[in-house]
Amino acid sequence: MKIAVVDGGGGGVGKVVIEKLRREFGERVEILAFGTNSVATAAMLKAGANEGATGENAIEENMPKADVIIGALAVVVAHSMLGELTPRMAEAIAKSAARKLLLPFNRGGIELVGFKPEPLPHLVDELLIQIKRIWRD
């Protein structure tokens, strides 16, 4: 299974996700890190991603090749992440046939009604459960 993790800023969310993915699945999954900036990409590579790339072209070229895309809800919203996520990045992620597992954060003017905020580690635990379901299908 090829899992693409997309993050921006300092790459903290992607780092936590990749560390838990690697602990849970070891080398049975291929984890690719895609940062909207080089700091985010570096953090995710250090966390255990197999490979990483930075920027709009990398995201556009690789999202169609992923089986699963993981990121904050903001990765499908143009101009989010303080403007780091371009419209072309958001479109490439949204148009990909990959399953998208998006973490629901109420940030950047996006508020999810009916959503009870959970700490990142709890959300990532739920993410792992969902990936196991996808793996079985």
**Pairing between strand 2-7 and 51-54?**
unpaired
Question: Whole-structure pTM over 0.85, yes or no?
Answer: yes
What is the three-state SS of 77-99? CCCCHHHCCCHHHHHHHHHCCCE
pLDDT tens for 79-107 read 999 999 999 999 999 999 999 999 988 67
- Residue 96 CB-density burial (10 A; 0-12 exposed, 13-18 middle, 19+ buried): buried
100's CB contacts (< 8 A; 6+ apart) are 68, 69, 70, 76, 93, 94
CB 55 within 8 A of CB 24: no
**Mean pLDDT score across all residues of the chain:** 94
The candidate with the shortest Cα–Cα distance to 87, out of 59, 109, 64, 66, is 59
Q: Give the angle 85-89-90 at the CA atoms, nearest 5°.
A: 80
Helix/strand/coil for 67? coil
pLDDT range class, residue 62, cuts 50, 70, 90: very high
Taking alpha carbons only, the member of 135, 121, 75, 120 closest to residue 100 is 75
Q: What percent of the chain has pLDDT over 90?
A: 85
Tell me the mean pLDDT in the region 14-29. 97
| Distance linking the first and last C-alpha atoms of the chain | 12
Q: Is the pLDDT confidence value at 72 over 90?
A: yes
State percent of the chain over pLDDT 70: 99
The CATH architecture of the domain made up of 2-136 is 3-Layer(aba) Sandwich (3.40)
- Closest C-alpha to 4, from 46, 61, 78: 61
